[in-house]
């Protein structure tokens, strides 16, 4: 299944990658690898992950404290947010 990132989700992704690269060289790339592996898991069967609000679902990353918030739109998956666990969990509802 195809996927795309909303503008806000892409911004979340870039900011988090930069943060992790500033913490430790290469850690940002490891973060990206885990996010994209998560997106591939979601793509395999998007219906199995937890619903969080109306048509929104979430996938939890294993190593990093983030959730991928997404929705299925036709034959594609829209990544709505890359949400840090300590960030208000519903900021992406706006």
Domain limits of the chain? Answer: 2-86
Contacts with 2 (C-beta within 8 Å, 6 or more apart), sequence order:
75, 76, 77
Q: For residues 14-33, b (16+ Cβ closer than 10 Å) or e, as one string?
A: eebbeebbeeeeeebeebbe
**Mean of pLDDT over the chain:** 91
Model confidence at 88, in pLDDT bands (50, 70, 90)? low
Structure tokens given for 87: 């960030």
Give the span between the Cα atoms of 63 and 90, in whole angstroms: 22
- 2-86: CATH topology is YaeB-like fold (3.30.2310)
Q: Is the pLDDT of residue 93 over 60?
A: no
Q: What is the pLDDT of residue 1?
A: 86
Do residues 58 and 68 touch, judged by C-beta distance below 8 A?
yes
């Amino acid at each position: 299944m195809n996927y795309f990132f909303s503008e806000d989700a892409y911004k979340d992704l870039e900011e988090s990658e930069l943060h992790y690269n500033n913490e430790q060289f290469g850690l940002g790339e490891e973060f990206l690898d885990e996010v994209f592996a998560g997106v591939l898991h979601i793509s395999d069967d998007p219906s199995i992950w937890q619903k969080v609000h109306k048509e929104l679902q979430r996938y939890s990353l294993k190593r990093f404290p983030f959730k991928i918030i997404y929705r299925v739109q036709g034959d594609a998956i829209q990544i709505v947010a890359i949400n840090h666990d300590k960030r208000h969990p519903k900021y992406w509802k706006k």
